Amino acid sequence: MHQKLIRWVSALALGLASQLVSATDLRTAALDVDYALEIDKSERSLVIRADGRVVRKFQVALGRGGLGDKRIRGDNKTPLGTYHITEFNEVSPFLLFMRLNYPNVKDGFYGLRSHLIGQAEFQQIIAAARHGETPPQNTDLGGAVGIHGLGEETADKLKVQRHFDWTRGCIALTNEQIIELRRYVEIGTLVTIRE
């Protein structure tokens, strides 16, 4: 009986030890998760994904230029395509600004073909993409497109945020949402924008 008790306690201890190792491994693995963002313009939503599963979903406000792809500076459209976060501005008037690599190579090719930019600007866009850097922001394609908060929040701003697309082409969240989103993203995080 005494031997059975010792074997049972030993087995229990080994089982608990293996569970502790597994829990530690899970915490370490969670830190290594690559998160991706998906923005759906027709749904006005931003989804955080990890390994294909939805982690969180937010309602957003977009560019007041409506649906369609951003084509030129001042059209107030949110671009369509695949982008990456290239920088964070944590002293932004919008509380936090996560810059996207707009214009990307697709946008640059459109600009070159449409004579909005020259070959030199197109090459700068390609070089920025190759190095994971922010592309030129002062071309006729526009720039300064990102994901941001509201800055000073008022009841009126929150109402507008819920019901209208009001930005100049960016993706806007409430301050609480942008702070939460920051926990999931880093330089290089993939951002896919579609309609």
Rounded distance, CA 48 to CA 55, Å?
Answer: 5
| pLDDT values of the chain reduced to their tens digit, one per residue, 195 residues | 444 434 443 443 444 444 443 433 433 344 478 999 999 999 999 999 999 999 999 999 999 999 999 999 999 999 999 999 999 999 999 999 999 999 999 999 999 999 999 999 999 999 999 999 999 999 999 999 999 999 999 999 999 999 999 999 999 999 999 999 999 999 999 999 999
pLDDT at 117 (0 to 100): 98
Map out the domains of the chain as residue ranges: 1-31, 33-194
**Type of residue at 42:** S
Fold classification of 33-194 is: L,D-transpeptidase catalytic domain-like (2.40.440)
Q: Which helix (H) or strand (E) holds 83?
A: strand 81-92
Q: Which helix (H) or strand (E) holds 93?
A: none
Q: Are 172 and 63 in contact (CB under 8 A)?
A: no
pLDDT at 115 (0 to 100): 98
pLDDT at 177 (0 to 100): 98
Q: Are 41 and 195 in contact (CB under 8 A)?
A: yes
pTM for this structure?
A: 0.83
